[in-house]
Amino acid sequence: MSAVDQNPGPIDWDALRSAAIEAKSHAYVPYSKFPVGAAALVDDGRIVSGCNVENASYGVTLCAECGLVSSLAMTGGGHLVAFTCVNGDGDILMPCGRCRQLLYEHSAEGMLLETVSGIRTIDEVLPDAFGPRQLAAYAAEHDND
């Protein structure tokens, strides 16, 4: 089933962008001064969001997508069907590779992302990905082994 099939209605990209802009206003960025906000539509109609939270030990900084996925888990789980991410000026950002993998893990099949080059599916921005769907397919294939 694709994200379009699971979507509770038309995707309101303006509402998602507004939620991402609100989220970035809470970013903790004393080092980079580069706030990021992310928002996503969940298959049950909720919108979840997150912001980046820096740390003096740069390697343990949390991306906005991490906060978003944490919010998803804390508010009932589900699968992401549409996602957007913005910088401090409200401009659309493309999630880094690590965050694309994180989003893939929690996405509905065919999840849509608003990117700098337009609306793309998760499979377009993370081709040949490996995640829960592949593990489930492997398990189903090897149930009788």
Binding-site residues = 52-58, 63, 96, 99
Is there a catalytic annotation at residue 141? no
The token pair at 135 is: 């593990």
Q: Which residues are annotated as a binding site for Zn(2+)?
A: 63, 96, 99
In the chain, what is the greatest distance between 2 CA atoms, to the nearest angstrom?
54
Half-sphere exposure of 52 (CA within 13 A, CB side): 24
Amino acid at site 71: S
- Buried residues in 112-131 as b, exposed as e (16+ CB within 10 A): bbbbeeeebbbeebbeebeb
User: 35 — phi, psi (to 5°)?
Assistant: -70, 145
Helix boundaries (H) for the chain: 3-6, 13-24, 64-74, 97-105, 122-125, 132-141
Q: Which residues are annotated as a binding site for substrate?
A: 52-58
Q: Which residue is catalytic, options 22, 65, 114, 124?
A: 65
Catalytic residues: 65
